[in-house]
Chain A
Amino acid sequence: MSENPIIRVRDLRKVYRVGEVEVHALRGVNLDVPRGEFLCVAGPSGSGKSTLFHILGGLLAPTSGAVFVDGHDLSRLSDSERTALRRRMVGFVFQKFNLLPTLTAADNIAIARHIAGRSLDHDPWFRQVLDLLGIADRLHHKPSKLSGGEQQRVAIARAIVNHPAILLADEPTGNLDSQNSAAVLRVLRDLNERLGQTILLITHDPVVASYAHRVVRMLDGRIVDDTG
């Protein structure tokens, strides 16, 4: 393990309160992710994978424990600080592509830059990304005119347009056929290999998991297995 991991999680716990009932979604997760790793998180439904991602991505506050992303302590952030963190440091890719339906692919990407307060002028790095994603000629279409695989690649472009420290992909191929899945996974692997993007990916699919450097398995809110 690298001396300076980009993600460091220590005894992370998350309790959801639903009325009188407490749901212990995370029961003490420990995890280090070195910069540039392509990590796969596997595990049965309800084991806490999405909850872990939501906390790492600043969408959710942890109940207890320590979470560091690129040196920032997430457990002490206010709502607005977590919002700022999402803006600057994290890229999300979801199972449902979650593009804004009224905007073109290009504008879906541009709005992420706008939210981050960055200028929209051309970024040579970003051209490289578009080439790598193979969507350069699809940018002026609305999401409804794109295939699922294309939509997901646009979503990936949007997720990394602000150079996030980590890319979190929650079952990104869950809604795709095997061909489109393979394309999306190749893109993720290229991003990781060529641009050094740190990627965490949730999947149920062993084939998907085979693209990753390392696989951790969760069960009942804990990491029970780690190939690293």
Chain B
Amino acid sequence: MINKLVFENLKHRPVRTALSILAIGVEVTMMLTLVGLSRGMLADVARRARGVGADIVVRPPGTSLIGLSSAPMSEKMVDFLRRQPHVTHAVGSMTHPLSGVTTITGVDLREFDEISGGFKYLDGGPIRNRDEILVDNFYARQNNLRAGSTLYLLNRNWRVAGVVEEGKLARLVIPLDVLQDLTANPGRISQVWVKVDHPANVPKVIASLKEKLPGYPIYSMEELTSLISVNNVPGLKAFITVIVALAIVVGFLVVFLSMYTAVLERTREIGILKALGASPFYILDILFRETLLLALAGTLLGILFSYLTRWVIMSWAPASLTQMIVPDWWGIAGAIALAGALLGASYPGWRAARQDPIEALAYE
């Protein structure tokens, strides 16, 4: 019975109801998109690292896990690592930031082909000249590139030699020495990818490398990919927290306003219910159920919207942004939205619950 009243109330003001649901939906989408983007982009980084086909990664001392800047390690490290027992391949690569989240990677292409089994070319072929570049299919799609297209990066024009299947090393790849020259970093690299003769020997090799290279972060590939997470990116967690807090405030304000106007508008009806003997709890129950319904519908809408934002992102900026769908956050985002909404409904609810029925009935 009470549900019928709640339902009729929501139906009675369809625009207000729709706007409340929409606002909560946007709130939930904000959270899901942000978390999905963080995770998606990190998963991309991890996937491309795995795509190299190495077993171990050696990074320069004092660098953060996903810090992509500069080339602080000497190329000599590659030869040193190649000479270690059980090591079959060692390839140095240099990552240079371009703009935003985009980076360009330099690597010795012949050595990289050996360790990784080579790129899969979807269009064009390998690099033959120093002014040629490889782009992956996402970057190509986002920037309308094909083999033979011209691309302006690092203050010069490049010819796209080939479009490769994404998921290996980087989205933009040029020869290592070209990148070193262009960025005035001769002989320097950002990390070394190491392949071992047998997977069983990975722990042994890591242990001996750690002894010989104190201070160098050395990770197995599993370790590296598991460390690439929201918690290990400096500031990301705080950023997500801030956005979630903002989302709560938005949800709170919208529901507050919506319920506040609903309570004012229904002064008389609340008075009638009270005259019929409804307790304050009964009135609160009605309003909280309405709020619950709004939050639930808003959460569902927000989940649907997160598919929409993913679709938009994947069709407009697949190379710069990747959004994952994060079902484990559906409940969390829903609970957060509900908490904000209930908080927003509590002051209007309190006002409604303590309304004097005689005054309310005299209210026009």
* Chain A interface residues toward B at CB < 8 A: 54, 57, 59-60, 80, 83-88, 90, 92, 94, 96, 98-103, 107, 110-112, 114-116, 120, 158
Report A-chain residues with C-beta under 8 Å of the C-beta of B282.
115
Contact A102 B8, CB 8 Å, known A83-B279, A107-B1:
yes
Contact between B358 and A100, CB atoms less than 8 A apart: no
B116 within 8 A of A: no
| Contact indicator A98/B1 (Cβ below 8 Å) | no
Check B358–A115 contact: CB distance below 8 A.
Answer: no
- A101 contacts B269, C-beta separation under 8 Å: yes
Which residues in A have their C-beta under 8 angstroms from that of B4? 103, 107
Contact B277 A100 (CB under 8 A): no
Query: Nearest-CB distance from B16 to chain A (Å)?
Result: 13
Q: Is B2 interfacial (CB 8 A cutoff)?
A: yes
- Bound Cα distance A114, B285 (Å): 13
Residue in B5, B268, B277, B279 whose beta carbon sits within 8 Å of that of A103 in the complex: B5
Partner of B1 from the list A57, A85, A110 (CB cut-off 8 Å) is A110
* Number of B positions contacting A (CB below 8 A): 22
A110: B residues at CB distance < 8 A: 1
- Name 7 A/B residue pairs within 8 A (Cβ), A-sorted: A59-B357, A60-B358, A86-B275, A98-B361, A103-B8, A111-B2, A120-B1
- Asked whether any CB of chain A lies closer than 8 Å to the CB of B98, the reply is no
In chain B, what residue has the closest Cβ to A79? B280
Name the contact of B277 in the complex, choosing from A60, A83, A120 (C-beta under 8 A).
Answer: A83
Q: Are A94 and B361 in contact (CB under 8 A)?
A: yes
Output the least CB separation between A75 and chain B (Å).
Answer: 18
The 5 A-B pairs with the shortest beta carbon distances in the complex, nearest first, are A87-B277, A102-B8, A86-B277, A114-B1, A102-B12
In whole Å, how far is B308's beta carbon from the nearest beta carbon of chain A?
33
| Alpha-carbon gap, A120 to B4, bound state (A) | 14
Contacts of A98 in B (CB 8 A): 268, 272, 275, 361
CB-defined contacts of A83 to chain B, threshold 8 Å: 274, 277-279
User: B272: which A residues are within 8 A, CB to CB?
Assistant: 98-100
The verdict on A102 contacting B276 (CB below 8 Å), with A59-B357, A114-B1, A120-B1 known, is: no
Residues of B within 8 A of A57 (CB): 275
